[in-house]
């Protein structure tokens, strides 16, 4: 049912056309040439991802099963971990240690959320079948 990849490919081709015009008619410097080319290539890769993802059917949401918890405290902890990490080089290395702590908690929480999610999906599939 998903034709999203066609759109991405079309956009990649449009970028490709502009890219070709740039080097065929004009006189781009190396950076401009690489930037525009990589924009086109990145989009083409995303199109490929969308094509492949469209063939898989593993996500519970595809079957109408909602298993994501209403709140994810572990994700919030992960966000705080990232903030502490990027601040560490400016405000002091001790932040990195704090970040290690919150990071561990966050990962642990995420793993727990995922496993209970999987359990819920399994239960719903069995219940639905």
Partner 1 sequence: MSATLPPPAVRRGPRLLGILSSTDHKHLGLLVCGGAFVFFCLGGLLALLMRSELAAPELQVMSLNAYNQVFTIHGSTMFYLFGAPMALGFGLYLVPLQIGASGLRWPRLVLLGFWLFLGAGLLMYAGFLTQEGAGRAGWFAFDPLSDDVGTPGTGMDLWVISVFLSVLAGMLWAASILATIIRHRAPGMTMLRLPVFTWSMVVSSLMTLVAFPALLLAMGLLFIERHGLDVFTQPGGAIFYQHLFWFFGHPVVYIVFFPFLAAGSEAIATSAGQRFFGYKLFVGSLLAFAALSVSVWGHHMFVTSSVDNRFFSLTTTAIIVVAGVEYFDNLATMFRGRIKLRASFLFACGFMIVFLIGGLSGIWVASPPLDYNAHDTYSVVAHFHYTLFGGTVFGMFAGIYHWFPKVTGRLLDERLGRWHFWLMLLGGLVTFIPQFFVGEQGMVRRIADYPETAGWTALNALSTVGAFIILLSLLIFLANLIRSLRLGKPSGPDPWDGHTLEWATSSPPPRYNFPAVPPVRSYAPLLDLKEEAAEDESSHRPVASGEGGSQ
Binding site for partner 1 (CB under 8 A): 1-8, 10-11, 14-15, 17-19, 21-22, 25-29, 31-32, 35-36, 39, 42-43, 46, 50, 53-54, 59, 61-73, 75-76, 78-80, 82-83, 86-87, 89-91, 110, 120, 124-125, 127-128
Nearest approach, Cβ of residue 97 and partner 1 (Å) = 19
Q: Contacts by 64-71 with C-beta closer than 8 Å and gap 24+?
A: 65/120, 65/121, 65/124, 65/125, 65/128, 67/117, 67/118, 67/120, 67/121, 67/124, 68/117, 69/113, 69/116, 69/117
Rg (CA), the chain: 22
26 vs 93, which CB is nearer to partner 1? 26
67, 117 Cβ separation under 8 angstroms: yes
63 vs 97, which CB is nearer to partner 1? 63
Nearest approach, Cβ of residue 32 and partner 1 (Å) = 6
Residue 55 buriedness (CB in 10 A; 0-12 / 13-18 / 19+)? exposed
Nearest approach, Cβ of residue 100 and partner 1 (Å) = 18
C-alpha–C-alpha distance, residues 4 and 55, integer Å: 12
Nearest approach, Cβ of residue 111 and partner 1 (Å) = 13
71 vs 93, which CB is nearer to partner 1? 71
25 vs 100, which CB is nearer to partner 1? 25
């Amino acid at each position: 049912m998903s034709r999203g990849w066609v759109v991405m490919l079309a956009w990649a081709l449009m970028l490709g056309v502009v890219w070709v015009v740039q080097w065929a008619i004009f006189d781009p410097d190396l950076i401009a040439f690489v930037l525009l080319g990589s924009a086109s290539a990145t989009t083409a890769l995303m199109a490929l991802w969308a094509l492949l993802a469209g063939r898989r059917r593993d996500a519970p949401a595809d079957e109408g099963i909602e298993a994501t918890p209403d709140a994810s405290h572990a994700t919030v902890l992960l966000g705080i971990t990232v903030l502490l990490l990027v601040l560490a080089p400016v405000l002091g290395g001790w932040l990195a240690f704090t970040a290690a702590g919150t990071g561990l908690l966050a990962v642990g929480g995420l793993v727990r959320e995922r496993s209970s999610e999987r359990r819920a999906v399994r239960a719903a599939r069995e219940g639905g079948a």
